[in-house]
Amino acid sequence: MAHLLRRAGFGATPYEMDRALSMGYQAVLDDLLNPDHPDVIPDDLIRRYHVDQSDLRSGGGAHWVYRLVMTDTPLREKICLFWHRVFATGTTKLIQNRVVTNQIDMFREHGMGRFDDLLVELSRDPAMIMWLDNQDNHGSNINENYGREILELFSMGVGNYSEDDIKETARAFTGWRVVNPDYMSIRMRNNTARPYGYMSWQFEYDDDDHDDGEKIILGQKGKWNGEDAVRIICEQDATARFVSRHLYHFFVADELPVPQWPHEDPKDPEAIDVLCRSYFENDHDIGAMLRTLFESDFFKDGGSRYARIKSPSEMVIGTMRLAGPIDLPSEETYMADAACANMGQALMRPPSVEGWQGGTEWINTGAYVERVNFAGRILNDPDKQGVRDIIDRIKALSGQSTITSDELVDNCLEVLGPLEVLDTTRHGLKNYASKFGDMKWSDESLSSEFDRAAVAIIQLVVSSQEYQTI
């Protein structure tokens, strides 16, 4: 169960784990895939009390961090992170955060639906159009950028299409642009909010600018428009394999970086076959593929546990959720967004159109120090609701009003996950905890002393290498 909640969410607080265990694996999975309640993010409060997040000129990452921390539909948010990594779109070029936030909203709505629908929405997405210059893709003069990337990065991968397919696909998407394309392009290029602030963009199809001629895309001939191109792409085996490998990479185990996929077999070819079959048997439905994945032996097997390095966002959000709910966006959410960036994953600012590769890319000396410092800072206060709950459960697990230093470590690992650690790690933690000796909380002074000891161990646990994996 803990494995599922780590991968399909951001880990579980002790309360969430209790609830999940009482529901059972299948019911929890059903709830993750098909939450029967809307997310309860108070957008009006955010917009009023965090004004710069209303126009979202900047602060898009912090805005999303708040939602990620507070959501009670974690898989829906996780799938947004997934697609953000695959369809990497950045404010670095687009200048404003609002349109990327709107794109994330679109992932929230379509991210677990049919891949065909998602790709059509992506192709209509104003941020994507401007990101890959499709406003410059005219019937009389094509711009191949989006045609290339939808095949290479978003659906099939290198080696499964020709240069002609790129051109023909680009032709299918001519006329797909934003309203006021010239003015919006120049404002973006000039990086200006003048005279009256940024303007959000809207998709517009210009039939007069569309190349209505016959095209051959992946061997199919017709007067294809963008929706037809997406249909043809989604029928391909290569697309099923590409999506499957991405899902495996994100939810099961770290794979090789995407650019190596054309040359290297998947880590688990049978798992990819299972996911491909699910893709075709379920009409390209991503939610159905996720169900297949989370119900599979290759996911439930011990081999996939802790087989991925946490992305910065997973590490940051999971830790913040452990610390407890936050009332409204705060300086903490801005700091968390900055921390993700310092660890190598600036949300809404991917390094390139290829997004983040993940895996060992996430860890280097500087990033690790940032992780340790961040987790220690977030979990440093025994009066935070989540930390208090963890401490109370550590006490409760002891079954009495005293605890040994060894029990403190064991209980802490149990409550924070449970987190499976190497013997050497456990030994190191116990060695450190031994300086506290046996502890009691029978009066205020002893209780306060125990709180400090517990917080110290919690901070050490979240500094461990095991906590960096998922």
Partner 1 sequence: MTTTTFGLKYVTNVGFAADFGGRGFSLPSSMAIRADGVIFVVSRGKSSTKNSNGIQMVTKDHDFLGQIGTYGAGLGGMMWPTSVVLDSDENLYLADEYFNKVTKYDREGNPITEWGTKGSGDGQFNQPSGLLIQDRLMYVVDSRNNRIQMYSLDGNFVGQWGSGGDGEGEFNLPWGISDDSEGNIYVADWRNDRIQKFDSNGNYISAIGGGKTSVLDRPSDVAVDPDGNIYVTDWGSQCLLVLDQPGNILETKRGEADLSPWSVEYLSSQDDERKARESFVPVYKADTEDPSEVSARMEPYFWDPVAVELDQDGTVYVLETGRHRFQIFERI
Q: Is 334 in the site for partner 1 (CB under 8 A)?
A: yes
The residue among 370, 386, 368, 411 whose CA lies nearest residue 320 is 386
Binding mask 292-331 for partner 1 (x = CB under 8 A): ----------------------------------------
Q: Which of 64, 107, 131, 198 binds partner 1 (CB under 8 A)?
A: 198
Q: Is 182 in the site for partner 1 (CB under 8 A)?
A: yes
Euclidean distance between CA atoms 137 and 129, whole angstroms: 10
The residue among 173, 285, 161 whose CA lies nearest residue 228 is 173
Q: Which of 6, 76, 98, 148 binds partner 1 (CB under 8 A)?
A: 98
Q: Is 185 in the site for partner 1 (CB under 8 A)?
A: yes
How would DSSP label each residue in 98-133? HHHHHHHHHHHHHTTSBHHHHHHHHHH-HHHHHHTT
Q: DSSP state, 242?
A: H
Q: Is 200 in the site for partner 1 (CB under 8 A)?
A: yes
| 3 state DSSP class of 141 | strand
The residue among 368, 426, 417, 366 whose CA lies nearest residue 394 is 417
| 195 vs 437, beta carbon nearer partner 1 | 195
Euclidean distance between CA atoms 259 and 155, whole angstroms: 14
| 3 state DSSP class of 285 | strand
Least Å distance, CB 195 to partner 1, is 4
Least Å distance, CB 204 to partner 1, is 8
| 195 vs 302, beta carbon nearer partner 1 | 195
| 197 vs 302, beta carbon nearer partner 1 | 197
Q: Is 58 in the site for partner 1 (CB under 8 A)?
A: yes
Euclidean distance between CA atoms 139 and 157, whole angstroms: 26
Is residue 367 a contact partner of residue 88, using CB atoms and an 8 Å limit? no
Least Å distance, CB 49 to partner 1, is 7
Is residue 367 a contact partner of residue 344, using CB atoms and an 8 Å limit? yes
Q: Is 49 in the site for partner 1 (CB under 8 A)?
A: yes
Q: Is 203 in the site for partner 1 (CB under 8 A)?
A: yes
| 163 vs 331, beta carbon nearer partner 1 | 331
Q: Is 59 in the site for partner 1 (CB under 8 A)?
A: yes
Amino acid in position 26: Q
Instruction: Tally the C-alpha atoms within 13 A of residue 117's C-alpha that lie toward its C-beta.
Output: 14
Query: Which tokens go with 236?
Result: 């391909």
Q: Is 47 in the site for partner 1 (CB under 8 A)?
A: yes
Q: Is 194 in the site for partner 1 (CB under 8 A)?
A: yes
Q: Is 57 in the site for partner 1 (CB under 8 A)?
A: yes
Q: Is 52 in the site for partner 1 (CB under 8 A)?
A: yes
Q: Which of 162, 192, 434, 448 binds partner 1 (CB under 8 A)?
A: 192
Q: Which of 102, 220, 385, 398 binds partner 1 (CB under 8 A)?
A: 102
Q: Which stretch binds partner 1 (CB under 8 A): 199-207, 238-246, 415-423, 449-457?
A: 199-207
CA 345-349-354 angle, 5° bins: 80
| 3 state DSSP class of 205 | strand
Euclidean distance between CA atoms 415 and 425, whole angstroms: 16
Q: Is 55 in the site for partner 1 (CB under 8 A)?
A: yes
| Chain residues in the site for partner 1 (CB under 8 A) | 44-45, 47-49, 51-52, 54-55, 57-59, 98, 102, 179-180, 182-183, 185-187, 190, 192-203, 334
